[in-house]
Each structure stands twice: as structure tokens, then as C-alpha cells.
């Protein structure tokens, strides 16, 4: 949970204000956002920052392993990759929760897969209903 030092500098990536802003928003919101979401949230601070610039930067950050992404609802969501985790997504409200990576990996090991099939996915996306939406009351 503790963040020591600057993650951008730690991975040798050129430190830019834009990248710093993107990482800052993802850290503050502690969730996974699409480029559209990021654009909307950054608009107040940086009205000149275009969605395509944000897109270019999240791709670079992903390439350096600082962010990871998955597709949900026709959009790519980007999140911080500092702690390995899988994703639980609520099909009703769209809330995304994180699950420490080892747990899904352990559960998957007990699966019997069709002949010759090997799992390679590293960012798992599990669908379901969150505690609020799944409540029968």
C-alpha cells in the first residue's frame, strides 16, 4: 500500500507532467479508467490536453509496465500495475474491484482444461454482481 519514490522515475521513463497527471488520477481514484474517463477528469486541470495525447501516454505507460489494461463494455480501461491483481467487474453498475493475483491463479490451477489448452492471460477479468447489486433486498 505504501508508495516510495516516483514510479515514473523508478522505471526510467522520462518524467512529464502529463504522465504524472495520469498516474496521479489513477492512484487517487484507485480504479481503472478509460481514456474518455481520464480525459473528462483531466479537463478541469488541463483543458488543452486532448484524448489522443492521453491515449498516447497511457500506451507508453503500459509499455513500461506502469499501467495495465483490459477491455470492458467496448472500452479499454487502464489501471496502475504496481501490485499484481486480477479484476472483478460488476455487470450491473460497472464497479471494478481488485483481487490479489495469486488467488485466481491458484483457483485456475485446479481447473481441468481441454487437451493442449494452456492459459496465458495475465490480467483476468471476472464478471459478476457486486455486494450492492447482488443484494436480493
Cα separation, 98 vs 51, in Å, equals 26
CB of 27 closer than 8 Å to CB of 3: yes
Cα separation, 54 vs 18, in Å, equals 8
Report in angstroms how near the CB of residue 32 gets to Zn ion at its nearest.
Answer: 5
CB-nearer residue toward Zn ion: 31 or 46 = 31
Report in angstroms how near the CB of residue 103 gets to Zn ion at its nearest.
Answer: 14
Report in angstroms how near the CB of residue 47 gets to Zn ion at its nearest.
Answer: 28
**Contact with Zn ion (CB under 5 A): which of 10, 92, 103, 127?**
92
CB-nearer residue toward Zn ion: 7 or 79 = 79
Per-residue interface string for the shown chain with Zn ion, residues 58-87, x marking contact by CB under 5 A: ---------------------x--------
Report in angstroms how near the CB of residue 90 gets to Zn ion at its nearest.
Answer: 3
Please give the grid coordinates belonging to residue 113.
482444461
Does 130 help bind Zn ion (rule: CB under 5 A)? yes
CB-nearer residue toward Zn ion: 83 or 106 = 83
Amino acid at each position: 500500500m505504501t508508495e516510495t519514490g516516483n514510479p515514473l522515475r523508478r522505471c526510467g521513463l522520462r518524467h512529464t507532467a502529463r504522465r504524472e497527471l495520469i498516474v496521479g488520477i489513477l492512484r487517487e481514484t484507485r480504479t481503472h479508467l478509460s481514456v474518455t474517463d481520464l480525459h473528462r477528469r483531466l479537463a478541469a486541470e488541463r483543458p488543452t490536453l486532448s484524448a489522443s495525447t492521453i491515449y498516447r501516454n497511457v500506451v507508453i505507460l503500459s509499455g513500461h509496465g506502469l499501467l495495465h489494461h483490459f477491455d470492458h463494455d467496448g472500452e479499454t480501461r487502464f489501471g496502475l500495475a504496481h501490485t499484481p491483481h486480477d479484476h472483478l467487474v460488476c455487470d450491473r453498475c460497472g464497479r471494478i474491484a481488485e483481487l490479489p493475483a495469486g488467488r485466481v491463479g491458484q483457483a485456475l490451477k485446479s481447473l481441468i482444461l481441454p487437451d493442449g489448452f494452456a492459459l496465458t492471460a495475465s490480467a483476468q477479468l471476472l464478471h459478476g454482481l457486486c455486494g450492492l447489486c447482488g443484494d436480493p433486498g
